[in-house]
Amino acid sequence: MPRDGSRRPAGDVVPLAPMDIGEVANPPFAVLPEPARVFLARSERFAALAPGHDLEPYLRLLVQITCAQHDILGELPEPVLPSPERLTLARENTMPPISTGQIELDEAADRTFDAFLKALATADLAPSSRAVLDVVEKAGPEARRLMMQAVLLDEIPRDAIAEHVLAAAAVQVLFTRLASHLDAASLQRVADGACPSCGAGPVASAIVGWEGAHGTRFCTCSVCATQWNVLRIKCVVCSSEKGIAYHAIDGGDENIMGETCDTCSSYVKMLHQHKDAALDPVADDVASLALDMTLTKEGWTRASVNPFLMGY
């Protein structure tokens, strides 16, 4: 893919014209997740995307995983945030209050992982998926904590990716529930590409259609589902405003694009939710893997994080 001003890539990725910034809006900086909605909406989107898709078997597995994430919410104890002193210290130092690198994995983490595995065990899993579930079930609490820690530190063994996808699902539940109890007004920008709640990277960004924020962009955290506002036509990785371009698969859904940056040679997907409200950052990121494959082939590096694309 040429990196000059012509933006004429080879292959079937089509560069798109700069976008209209849209109406004047006054968006909040951060929007906290609602656990009762996050996983249910995600499972419904995976179910809608699966029929006839090239990744249909995997998308159907993700329906079951996200359903299990949703189903356990009512049986888990209320999450406990860090002490007021630690929250104040984080705020004073512009650090995420529930940093993935500092939250201790305790009994709440164990109970979350255990409940998730039990819920998933009731699903109609393919033999290969059932085998992975059996391995994780037999691992025991200490080994499961190490798996969750590996997910949080991005130290996942290449020969155990499938098992760590399940650990990542438990981590998402744990941190989404924690984030939902934060004070959104107290959150501060850590970096354009870092969640203000937990510090994790975005799974994608989206141009939203919310009242009062129509046409503005929000990144969605890959771990805790917090959304935060980032200016449009700006790289969420290196914050450069130069050499930004947008690409979609020729003949594909132009509401799902890759935002590429000449400065750092990376890309993060951007969804036009204001045109298609059904788009989900996690589900549609997985379902648009063909765009990743094409952009990667053209020389761009994927900079976003999706636990369900672990190993890609």
- 174 with 202, same domain: the answer is no
- 109 with 23, same domain: the answer is no
pLDDT at 251: 81
- 274 with 237, same domain: the answer is yes
Which residues lie below 8 Å from residue 167, measured CB to CB, with a gap of 6+? 113, 136, 144, 147, 148, 150, 151
DSSP assigned state of 268: E
- 38 with 166, same domain: the answer is yes
- 42 with 175, same domain: the answer is yes
pLDDT at 312: 79
CATH number, domain with residue 241 = 3.90.1670.10
pLDDT at 250: 85
- 169 with 240, same domain: the answer is no
- The domain tally of the chain equals 2
pLDDT at 103: 87
- pTM, whole model, 2 decimals? 0.91
Q: Which of 149, 183, 217 is the last residue of a domain?
A: 183
Q: Which of 183, 206, 221 is the last residue of a domain?
A: 183
What stretches of 122-249 show up as alpha helix (H) in DSSP?
Answer: 127-137, 141-152, 161-179
- 193 with 169, same domain: the answer is no
Instruction: Note whether residue 168 is domain-resident.
Output: yes
Q: Using N-to-C axis directions, what is the helix angle for 141-152 and 161-179, rounded to 10°?
A: 80
pLDDT at 15: 52
pLDDT at 12: 54
Instruction: Note whether residue 5 is domain-resident.
Output: no
Instruction: Note whether residue 78 is domain-resident.
Output: yes
Q: Which of 183, 217, 239 is the last residue of a domain?
A: 183
Intervals of the chain under pLDDT 50: 1-11, 16-22
- 43 with 167, same domain: the answer is yes
Owning domain of residue 75 = 34-183
Give residue for tokens 């510090």: 199
pLDDT at 24: 57
- 24 with 42, same domain: the answer is no
Instruction: Note whether residue 3 is domain-resident.
Output: no
- 162 with 219, same domain: the answer is no
pLDDT at 203: 98
What stretches of the chain show up as alpha helix (H) in DSSP?
Answer: 35-49, 56-71, 84-92, 107-121, 127-137, 141-152, 161-179, 281-287, 289-297
Instruction: Note whether residue 243 is domain-resident.
Output: yes
- 68 with 41, same domain: the answer is yes
- 75 with 161, same domain: the answer is yes
